Amino acid sequence: MKYVIGVDLGTSAVKILLVNQQGQVVREVSKTYPLIQEKAGYSEQNPEDWVDQTVAGLSDLLKYGDCRPEDIEGLSFSGQMHGLVLLDENNQVLRNAILWNDTRTTRECREIDEKVGRERLLQIAKNLALEGFTLPKILWVKRNEPEVYRKVKTFVLPKDYVRYRLTGQLHMEYSDAAGTLLLDITEKKWSEEICRLLDIPVELCPPLVESHEEVGTITPEIAKATGLSTKTRVFAGGADNACGAIGAGILQDGKSMVSIGTSGVFLSYEADGNKNFGGKVHYFNHGAPDAYYTMGVTLAAGYSLSWFKDAFAQKAGFDELLADVARVPIGSNGLLFTPYIVGERTPHADANIRGSFIGMDSSHQMKHFVRAVLEGITFSLNESVEIFREHGKRIDTIVSIGGGAKNEAWLQMQADIFNARIVKLSSEQGPGMGAAMLAAYGCGWFDSLQECSDRFLRVDTIYDPIEENVEKYRGLFHLYREIYPATAALNKALMKYRD
């Protein structure tokens, strides 16, 4: 039996999957690493932690598995998007990586708007300047750490740095490059215009490759540390959302996915890069060849639920917390929740907005609050669904992955609020599976990613919308949408009272 490995470099841990030619996950290893948060709004990591834990995870995968190193034909990556890793002329890391959830760059975002122009930026990069993207981080270092910036020879994103350390080859692939704001997305090349307007040498941008492209093999040093063979082929991989889409089979027009993890994503396949959503949703290159995807983001999706549990039901497990949700009526007995606890992304790019419970009274119990949280998260994601529908996209079938796919009541809630069929996969491994599929395709096991998807992915359960529930949620969603404009100014005024 032959195998491939999918390495998913997340924000809190690296998850490594060993997958056979039938698409079965033979072994799974996860290794955690810390966040570095020196100030409010700062979020960094030490790239060496990613490398050390990835090497340790690969070692465990080989040490306790029953496959021979020479049977592992390929390895590929998925990774957290937007993070900035700065390298000097010797490819040595110059400072900690600044992550996607770092919000220090508001001033730099305004600079991009002023010097490039919002409309021109949308024409080239297909996205607006937001704090999470890579380009504002480069400008922040340039302004605030000039001694570091002077030494910069190139930059890469998190998974690209780990891949460099495993192969000795430095590249960036299109799906992650699309999240930098420096890529001309339709032309698939670095934008000399954006670099010139912001006085950034285009030479800082690394060579570009396709997600399924082979970029090297495992170095002797890494082979010795992990037990892998130096003949194991390494493929570029993709951004976490692009790989999540591949791992959910979102590879054709009309296919969409909802992913509820720490953040939440509603993602839809696009065959070309020429549609105009006016910056209301993100537009990126797919990990599939010559394809794109659009997505809306809820910043605190699963995080809203974990925050609620930690704040009000610390001793309960998630299964216990959600046990009574199905017995609570739609609308949580007149209680609405907005999941803006760390600001919001789609459709409100607002770092100041904060969450609300609206309609609390003395009849409400823990179970009502829990259902309201789930409904609020799903309403927020439905705002992205509605943007797509308003722009003519037909959305009738959605693959649900992540934490939102682990509870039957929540899956039915998604079907009713989105008014679409919800599909749960039998073995949902998200971005890690997408990375493994890129390796399988790169190794020539299949003629296309679609053929790989047909072999690797299987449907478990389907949840159809219940018309009576759809009508109730339609009215509640209308009320939900009124909360943001009613509370935006109030929350902005409250910012001065927060630590």
**pLDDT one-digit tens code per residue, 235-281:** 999 999 999 999 999 999 888 999 998 889 999 999 888 888 888 89
Is 48 a residue whose pLDDT tops 90?
yes
Q: What per-residue confidence (pLDDT) applies to 83? A: 97
Q: What per-residue confidence (pLDDT) applies to 19? A: 96
**DSSP secondary structure string, 300-342?**
SSHHHHHHHHHHH-TTS-HHHHTTTGGGSPTTTTT-EEE--BT
- Output the six-digit token pair for 308: 């609620």
**pLDDT one-digit tens code per residue, 475-484:** 999 999 999 9
CATH number at residue 111: 3.30.420.40
* 360-387 mean pLDDT: 97
**pLDDT one-digit tens code per residue, 134-147:** 999 999 999 999 99
Three-state DSSP class for residue 402 = strand
279 occurs within a structural domain: yes
Tell me the C-alpha distance between 325 and 352, whole Å: 30
Do 21 and 162 have their domain in common? yes
Whether the bond into 220 is cis, omega within 30 of 0 = no
349 occurs within a structural domain: yes
Is 499 a residue whose pLDDT tops 80?
no
Do 203 and 101 have their domain in common? yes
- Sign of the CA dihedral with 226 first, then 230, 231, and 232 last: positive
**pLDDT one-digit tens code per residue, 70-81:** 999 999 999 999
Among 113, 240, 350, 361, the one annotated catalytic: 240
Q: What per-residue confidence (pLDDT) applies to 125? A: 96
Nearest by Cα to 265 from 303, 211, 237: 303
**pLDDT one-digit tens code per residue, 192-238:** 999 999 999 999 999 999 999 999 999 999 999 999 999 999 999 99
Listed in sequence order, the residues at least 6 apart from 459 whose beta carbon sits closer than 8 Å to its beta carbon are: 423, 424, 425, 426
**Ramachandran area for residue 237 (φ above 0: left; ψ -120 to 50: alpha; else beta):** left
* 284-305 mean pLDDT: 94
Is 66 a residue whose pLDDT tops 80?
no
Domain carrying residue 308: 249-427+466-499
Q: Where is the domain boundary, 241, 269, 287?
A: 241
Tell me the C-alpha distance between 384 and 366, whole Å: 28
Rounded to the nearest 10°, the torsion over CA 391, 392, 395, 396 is: 150
Do 106 and 170 have their domain in common? yes
Phi, psi of 124 (to 5 degrees): -90, -55
Do 211 and 355 have their domain in common? no
Phi, psi of 376 (to 5 degrees): -65, -45
Return the H-helix or E-strand segment holding 219. none
445 occurs within a structural domain: no
Q: What per-residue confidence (pLDDT) applies to 377? A: 98
Q: What per-residue confidence (pLDDT) applies to 498? A: 80
Matching residue, tokens 């890579």: 134
Tell me the C-alpha distance between 497 and 252, whole Å: 48
141 occurs within a structural domain: yes
Do 255 and 339 have their domain in common? yes
- Sign of the CA dihedral with 461 first, then 465, 468, and 470 last: positive
Do 218 and 262 have their domain in common? no
pLDDT category of residue 404 using cuts at 50, 70 and 90:
confident
**pLDDT one-digit tens code per residue, 443-478:** 999 999 999 999 999 999 999 999 999 999 999 999
291 occurs within a structural domain: yes
Q: What per-residue confidence (pLDDT) applies to 273? A: 85
Is 306 a residue whose pLDDT tops 90?
yes
Tell me the C-alpha distance between 4 and 362, whole Å: 55
Side chain identity at residue 294, one-letter code: T
Do 204 and 321 have their domain in common? no
- Sign of the CA dihedral with 205 first, then 209, 212, and 217 last: negative
Do 195 and 338 have their domain in common? no
Do 104 and 215 have their domain in common? yes
The shares of helix, strand and coil residues in the chain, as percent rounded to the nearest 5, are: 40, 20, 40
Do 263 and 214 have their domain in common? no
Q: Which residues pair with 259 in a beta bridge?
A: 265, 401
Nearest by Cα to 262 from 342, 321, 347, 317: 342
Do 297 and 160 have their domain in common? no
What is the domain count for the chain? 2
Do 267 and 128 have their domain in common? no
319 vs 351, residue with greater confidence: 319
457 occurs within a structural domain: no
Pairing of strands 264-270, 256-260: antiparallel
446 occurs within a structural domain: no
Pairing of strands 183-184, 25-32: unpaired
Write down the mean pLDDT value for the chain. Answer: 95
Q: Where is the domain boundary, 218, 241, 264?
A: 241
Tell me the C-alpha distance between 115 and 414, whole Å: 41
390 occurs within a structural domain: yes
Q: Where is the domain boundary, 174, 208, 241?
A: 241
Three-state DSSP class for residue 173 = strand
Is 67 a residue whose pLDDT tops 90?
no
Tell me if residue 240 is catalytic.
yes
